[in-house]
Homo-oligomer: A and B are copies of this chain.
Amino acid sequence: MPDDASKPVGSSDLLKGAGDLLVLSVLADGPLYGYAITKQVAARSGGSIRLTPGVLYPLLHQLEQSGLLLSNWETVQAPDNEDEDKGRRRKWYRLSAKGRKRLAQRIASHRAYQKMIESFLPDQI
């Protein structure tokens, strides 16, 4: 049996606690809805960062609850849809003032931490 016959087990943990930083960062360019964030992040990372639903939506809710994000629902009417009560729902998220301030702090602390980690790495291995 080959070592990696089927690998839907365990974790890869790509995000390493930077999920909030990513979401706040892409929203700094303007409001987006969840699915659009997913696509945006995938595109800008060349497909290497996949912000899956199971990661994204709990994260958005948590950021909103913390007052860092504000949101409003949009109902998209399909051209042939005459029923006003139906239509695809989108929840648009945008940075709050608090979220913008927090983003600046997170960037600073992220860079400080990475600088610290980098200082531990050996020049010669």
Contact = CB atoms under 8 A, between A and B. Distances in A.
Interface of A: 13-14, 16-18, 21-22, 25-26, 28-29, 41, 44-45, 48-49, 100, 103-104, 107, 110, 113-114, 116-117, 119-122, 125
Contacts of A110: 117
A33 B102 CA distance: 39
Where chain A touches its partner, the secondary structure class is helix
A122 B13 contact: no
State the oligomeric state as a number of copies.
2
A27 to B, nearest CB: 9
A121 B16 contact: no
B28 A125 contact: yes
